[in-house]
Amino acid sequence: MSSADYLLSDSASELERLRLQARVWEPETEAWLDSLGPMEGWHCLDLGCGAMGILGSLARRAGASGRIVGVDIDAMQLRAARAFIAENNLPKVEILEADAYASPLPANSFDLAHVRFLFAPVGRDAQLMDELWRLTKPGGIIAIQEPDSAAWRCYPPSDAWDRLKAAILEAFRRGGGDFDAGRRTHKMLRERGAEDLRVRAAVVALAPGHPYLRLPIQFATSLRNRILDAGLMTKSELDEAIVECEQVAGDPQTTGLTFVVTQVWGRKPV
């Protein structure tokens, strides 16, 4: 897999979105990881870690005797991830440039193999699940976080918001992905034979002025060429919707909900 295969662009706007994404979801990630119990000394993998992923959360739990590996293939994301590691003094975290679907990492080498928001933009479910399964030790945990668009909306409702959301979801589908991938991850792990399978769902409420209210704008910017090339919106329609959504996001009366993040995890049989 090359960075060109990734549905979203490798632009500065996409880097900004990924950094914001990591911060918004960090509290829910912390709560989720707490439910896994002690992780001291674990070897953990964040596959497709992007600019930050959950590297910090994993490093804090694994401690000085643990080891964390983040894998990504995009040069901009790799630079951002390495800068994050240096800025936060995380010496036990290694960043590896590799294909998330066919990494050079040895099989059966991680106590926890995690992926977030990679099934959704890329698809190729079987290949990604094969790699997660291969890299996890027998008895280790495979952990998946993927989105479900059902709750994603703003209040009061906005036609421009709804138009952008519809175009974004269709752009994912046209590119081979599925923004609602979180609806099927439990089934994927169950059919693969994972044991002690569990599921958790998270939604974040967005108060007026919250930067994540601009998420449709950020997605539309990253997906702009795909939206236009597919004829999902004309240039003027897209630009108009973005301007209207900027006004909605900046309105002190606007609140919102994020999409649902479905957190699924289970153990690879011994």
- How far apart are alpha carbons 216 and 239 in whole angstroms? 12
Q: With b meaning 16 or more CB within 10 Å and e meaning fewer, what string describes 82-96?
A: eebbeeeebebbebb
Backbone angles phi, psi at 199, to 5 degrees: -145, 145
pLDDT tens, 240-265?
999 999 999 999 999 999 999 999 99
pLDDT of residue 267: 98
CA distances to 1, 69, 135 from 72, in Å:
10, 10, 15
pLDDT of residue 210: 96
pLDDT of residue 1: 45
pLDDT of residue 10: 52
Instruction: Write the CB contacts of 195 (distance below 8 Å, at least 6 apart in sequence).
Output: 266, 267, 268, 269
- Looking at the DSSP bridge assignments, the partners of residue 198 are 265
The β-bridge relationship of strands 260-267 and 195-202 is: antiparallel
- Looking at the DSSP bridge assignments, the partners of residue 203 are none
State what percent of residues in the chain have pLDDT above 70: 96
Are 264 and 132 in contact by the 8 Å Cβ rule? The answer is: no
Instruction: Write the CB contacts of 257 (distance below 8 Å, at least 6 apart in sequence).
Output: 151, 152, 153, 203, 204, 205, 206
What SS3 class is residue 14? helix
Q: Is the Cα torsion angle 28, 113, 140, 144 positive or negative in sign?
A: positive
**Helix 75-87 and helix 55-62: axis angle, to 10°?**
40
Identify the DSSP state of 213: G
Asked whether residue 5 carries a pLDDT value surpassing 80, the answer given is no
pLDDT tens, 7-64?
555 566 777 888 888 899 999 999 999 999 999 999 999 999 988 999 999 999 999 9
Long-range CB contacts (within 8 A, 24+) of 226-229: 226/7, 226/171, 226/174, 226/175, 227/167, 227/168, 227/171
Q: How confident is the model at residue 133 (pLDDT cuts 50, 70, 90)?
A: very high
What's the full length of the chain, in residues? 270
pLDDT of residue 165: 97
